Amino acid sequence: MVPQPNLDPMEIKRVLEDTSGYPFELQIAQRVERWEEYGYFVEPNYSFEDHDTGEARELDFHAIRAMPISTQKSEYAFIIILGSCKANRNPYVFFTRQAPLAGVTLMSDAPISGCPLEIYGENGETEAIEWYFQLHRFLHIAKLDIISSQACVLAWKSSKWEVQPEAIIRDTFVPLIKVMSREIEHHNNQCIPEDERILPEYNIYYPLLVLKGPMFEYYVPPKGSAQVRDAKHVLAIRHYESKTIKCRYAIDVIHESYLEQYLNLVEKETKRFVNLIRHYKKIIVRSIEELSTIEKAKGQKDKREET
């Protein structure tokens, strides 16, 4: 057996940074955690259950930040960033086009869980929270007029650049979709109102892919030739359907140099969301009470049917 040379700390550091994505994942997690004093609580290597297979999967990091609605009553909305990181050396290219409904409606499912998700009006009619709060007016996933439809990786082979069949969608976007679907379902199941709880409770989610290396977009305009340009932030709209999941989510893809700017963007729009909750607090509480009455009646009906 050939003897192995001893490794010194500097050599270990070089090997890890040159051949592994772990240092980059940890760096991004720490930048999110240190973005503001008492900002995000970050859990690296976040484990979740794959609903399709029942197996445990991992996400690079899970970050959560509390936004106070009313400190007197300990009411909060929570920002949750579901993060994946790629320390890529090869260029990532995202194919983009104009969003046909930018600023008009959400092209994806609302990235919100909690209670109430429907607002009960005085006439007895209900309206989904995304329409009642007009989320498309301030969430960037509805306002950005350029969206991605597909992506690829370029690799240098045989003295030329070629498209590399790396499964970005399967290996990166699908895990983000699955963990977000799981988080939303789990929180909604916990938020069935009980008699003693009539407080609003919301999570707003941001699935995020952070890239270290080159990032481009191949933009196809309505008229004229396609353009290839540097990119710092691309919005990917992905439809996904399996035996347990059917959804359409918006996923942010950013270069690491855009991270702090992205966190500022998230902070700005979630503050507006919290201000809406404060403004419509009485209507929201009334909606929770109505939902509680409905759930109680449903429970009584189920008991009668069991007997």
User: Looking at the predicted structure, is the pLDDT value of residue 290 above 60?
Assistant: yes
User: How do residues 119-143 score in pLDDT, each as one tens digit?
Assistant: 987 777 889 999 999 999 999 999 9
Residue 3 lies in a domain: no
The token duo for 32 is 């999110």
Residue 190 lies in a domain: yes
Residue 1 lies in a domain: no
Residue 95 lies in a domain: yes
Q: Residue 51: which domain range?
A: 9-306
* Mean pLDDT value across the chain: 86
The token duo for 93 is 């290219």
Read out DSSP for 68-126?
EEETTTTEEEEEEEEEEEE--SSPEEEEEEE-TTTTTS-SS---EEEE-SEEEPTTS-E
pLDDT (0 to 100) of residue 291: 79
pLDDT (0 to 100) of residue 165: 66
Residue 4 lies in a domain: no
Give the separation between CA 191 and CA 292, rounded to whole angstroms.
Answer: 10
Residue 79 lies in a domain: yes
User: How do residues 263-284 score in pLDDT, each as one tens digit?
Assistant: 999 999 999 999 999 999 889 9
pLDDT (0 to 100) of residue 70: 80
C-alpha 136: how far from chain center: 16
Residue 223 lies in a domain: yes
Query: pTM to 2 decimals?
Result: 0.89
User: Looking at the predicted structure, is the pLDDT value of residue 257 above 90?
Assistant: yes
Q: What domain count does the chain have? A: 1
C-alpha 66: how far from chain center: 16
User: Looking at the predicted structure, is the pLDDT value of residue 76 above 90?
Assistant: no
